[in-house]
Amino acid sequence: MEYSYPILADWSTEEIIDVIKFFEGVEQAYEKGIKREDLLARYRRFKQIVPSQAEEKSVFREFEEASGYISYQVVKLTKELEDGQIVQINSNRK
């Protein structure tokens, strides 16, 4: 499926790459699974770039509308799991 990732104009190239890596991790959680530690590291970096809760919700919503993947659900599950576990969402996309 072809879609665009949410990107803000004031982000640097490095920040854009890191945000895309986070969203690729969300995709992996839906498609095949991703190690909890890997996704948490990507989310921590995402939060350095998008520290505002309101901005995070906006970016998550934009990504969900484009891709059908629910980032909030993935982050919530990731935080609930223990170290060493795989994050995998067993849900159908939109």
* Residue 48, domain CATH: 1.10.220.80
Give the C-alpha separation, 74 to 39, whole Å: 9
The domain containing residue 58 runs over which residues? 13-81
Residue 90 confidence class, pLDDT cut points 50, 70, 90: confident
Decide if 64 is inside a domain. yes
- Residue 85 pLDDT more than 50? yes
Residue 82, Cα to own-chain centre: how many angstroms? Answer: 18
pLDDT at residue 94, rounded to an integer? 45
pTM over cut 0.75: yes
Total tally of structural domains belonging to the chain: 1
